[in-house]
Structure 1
Amino acid sequence: MPSYEPRRLTGHTGAVTCVAFSADGRRLLTGGEDRSLRLWDAGTGTEVRSWEAGPAGVACGALSPDGGLAVSGAEREPSRLWDTSGGTQLRTLGSQEAGAFAVAFSPEGRLVVTGGVDGSVRCWDPRTDEELRRLLGHDAGVTSVAFSPDRRLVLSGDGRIAVGDDHVRLWDLREGRELRRFGASLFVVTAVAFSPDGRFALATTVDALLNAWDVADGHQVDRYPVGTGNLLCLDVSPDGRRLLTGSGSDFYGTDRAAGHQGDDTVRLLDVMDGRELWCHTLHGGNVLAVAFAPDGRRAASAGADGSVLLWDVVP
């Protein structure tokens, strides 16, 4: 555990479901069940502005690389695109009415991908709200989506409450087709990510397992347990050498998930062997979102208790 205390950002009054840095590391976006999106100065921890994001709250959110746009998703309503300079809504992504559990901007900010409550993965042009691709195959809500660094591929994971070999899928965005499925008996996928070089795909599952596969041929290169609770979120450091994870004490009330002890913890791991570099338990409940800053030296985490913490992960 680091010897220093994190900076605590105060303002949210409900569970915080997303954290995202701008590409220059100067801004941090958070959103939560209190129906608000908030933009922060990531250097000082000062709130720049906040605005109401819709009646259903914020289930997921992402910030464009330049920090000028934000996208938010929620259940039972279309995702919304925002101008962060004033907190004004620009448009809705209107053909996914069941809502979204996951959203992401492409690395250069010209595309948005959403993971739908209805199991669809859709790609959008945020400038026009045009739906460019609809990727079908998941038979449960898509809990996480990620662009490859070259934006040609999309990785998605679903939250189906069953053990299966089809919870994580790799898509060719240009051709709009599924390339492969990553298996190994996964159970309720909570987060997916690419390594910064695009060579590896990673996924966390609610039964406290972290999985990694080779993108080129699909073979599994690693699988190890992380903590004792339900593993809920994941991010990879910009240099690809470390992982940030968040755990919780409840997600789905299934026997397999309920068998894990409470573990409301943020962990920094060595990507090579899963060795724990440090951990903290300062969130009062599930850790719902984690993110590295672009410099890799700082990170943010968010919890079900409404807390947002800014960490210096490299002393």
Structure 2
Amino acid sequence: MPTLELLHTLTHPNSAYAVAFSPDGKLLATASLDNTLKNWDVASGKELARLSGHGDGVCGVAFSLDGKKLYSASMDKTVRVWDVASGGVEATHGGHGAYIESFAISADGTTVATGSHDKSVRVIAADSGSLKGTLVGHADAVFAVALSPDGKRAASGSNDGTLRLWDVASGKGRTVANNDGVPQAVIFLNDGKSVVSGGNEGLIEFWNFATGERFQTFEGHQGMVKSLAISADDRWLVSGGTDGTVRLWNVELGKQIASVAAHKNNIYGVAIAPHKKQLASASFDRSIKVWAIRD
């Protein structure tokens, strides 16, 4: 069974909300309520750059497929595109009527989605920022958003207590029945056919996108599941919760294979490195921790 060994503890002066590995696994990007992003060297834990420019807390971050750009979403209602080498801003995209709460990028790197307190999801082209779709139907803030690998479908969880599945081009969505509690985190598996949600009942639920039926449930967190990440081969799922634990699950076996008491407070972001040798967790306690996955 794998174990999780602490490699580095990184910090922001305010709560850390999101974390992402670069495609080669050498860099780690972190986003914080201090209005900044930071880039770190994974091997040494050294801070390489601090990216400033957002006017409010940063709630989402992701690298482009070539690792040369960084995408960020902020409570200042904007998405920014950064040049990793220079730290400069290449583009700023707006459009929401209230602050952004959630962020996602498609696995193919073409599409970005943001969920907002204006109750909508905006889907834009990653390269140009052009609008691909506005998804409207939730009755409250959108706490979680995810995109299928090709960016053509979306899933969203709202404070209205619903999980919704969407076709981006048409803007049509439907509510999943029998969802347990408010979805706080949501992701697509890389097979493009399945959606995973985590909520305030401490459950992690797997849904068939086509039918909306739940086909698997993981239990273990003592409190809300706030963050989820999946390995590229769909075999390992990582979760973080308000119980301060990071948990590693084997999707094929349907069971937890590692757990660690990682933080003193809510874990708002988790990520797994492309080579599956490290995990990262970002917490309200202002720390980001990098974990080695030991066999």
Given the two structures, how large is their TM-score scaled by the length of structure 2?
0.91
Q: Partner residue of 1:64?
A: 64
Q: Which runs of 4+ in 1 moved over 3 A?
A: 1-5
SS in 2 for 1:127: coil
Are 1:77 and 2:77 counterparts?
Answer: yes
Measured in 1, the distance between the counterparts of 2:10 and 2:271 equals 18
The worse-fitting range, judged by mean Cα deviation, of 2-11 and 292-301 is 2-11
Q: Could you tell me how far 1:11 is from its partner in structure 2?
A: 3.8
Q: Which residue of 2 is the match for residue 119 of structure 1? A: 119
CA contact (8 A) 1:73 1:80 kept: yes
Partner of 2:154: 154
Structure 2: runs of 5+ lacking an equivalent: none
Report what 2:109 is aligned to.
109
2:56 is paired with a residue of what secondary structure? Answer: coil
Superposed, 1:1-315 pairs within 5 Å as 5-160=5-160, 162=161, 167-178=162-173, 180-248=174-242, 263-272=243-252, 274-315=254-295
Residues 109-166 of structure 1: CA distance to partner in whole angstroms, max 9, x if unpaired?
Answer: 2321111221111111243332221111111211222221233211221123x5xxxx
1:254 is matched with: none
Tell me the distance in 2 between the aligned counterparts of 1:157 and 1:119. Answer: 10
Query: Letter of the aligned partner of 1:304 in structure 2?
Result: F
Cα deviation, 1:206-235, whole Å, max 9, x if unaligned, reads 220111111222211023422212211111
Structure having greater relative contact order (Cα 8 Å, sep ≥ 6): 2
Are the counterparts in 1 of residues 7 and 290 from structure 2 also a CA contact under 8 Å? yes
Q: Number of residues paired by the alignment?
A: 295
Aligned with 1:5: secondary structure? strand
SS of 2:201's equivalent in the other structure is coil
Q: Secondary structure at the match of 1:308?
A: strand
Alpha-carbon spacing, 1:237–1:88, altered in 2? closer, same or farther (3 Å): same
CA distance in structure 2 between the partners assigned to 1:62 and 1:117 by the alignment: 21
Deviations 1:276-295 (A, max 9, x none): 21111131211111111111
CA distance in 2, matches of 1:128, 1:194: 23
Tell me if structure 1 keeps the 8 A contact 2:4–2:259: no
**Distance verdict in 2 for CA 1:126–1:215, change over 3 Å:** closer
CA, structure 1 residues 3+314, in 2 after alignment: closer, same or farther (shift >3 Å)? closer
Equivalent-residue separation in structure 2 for 1:22 and 1:144 (angstroms)? 22
Deviations 1:33-61 (A, max 9, x none): 12220112223322221122423121222
2-side partners of 1:144 and 1:53: how far apart? 24
For 1:152, the aligned partner's letter is K
- The TM-score, its normalising length taken from structure 1, stands at 0.86
Q: CA shift at 1:3, angstroms?
A: 6.1
Identify if the C-alpha distance between structure 1 residues 6 and 53 changes in structure 2 by more than 3 Å, giving closer, same or farther. Answer: farther
The answer on whether the counterparts of 2:3 and 2:258 sit within 8 Å (CA) in structure 1 is no
- Give the letter for the 2:82 counterpart: W
Question: Taking structure 1 as reference, are residues 72 and 193 closer, same or farther at Cα in structure 2, changes over 3 Å only?
Answer: same
Pairwise CA distance, 1:8: 1.7
Give yes or no for contact 2:4–2:260 (8 Å, CA) kept in 1.
no
**Contact 1:79–1:100 (CA<8 Å) still a contact in 2?**
no
More strand by share: 2
Q: Deviations over 1:69-128 (max 9, x none)?
A: 222223353232222222222222121141211122222323211112211111112433
Task: Decide whether aligned partners of structure 1 residues 216 and 79 sit closer, same or farther in structure 2, where only a CA change above 3 A counts.
Answer: same
Aligned counterparts of 1:169 and 1:4: Cα–Cα separation in 2:
33
Structure 1: gaps spanning 5 or more residues? 249-262
- Distance, in Å, in 2 between the alignment partners of 1:93 and 1:277 is 40
Q: What is the aligned-residue identity percentage?
A: 32
User: Aligned with 1:186: secondary structure?
Assistant: coil
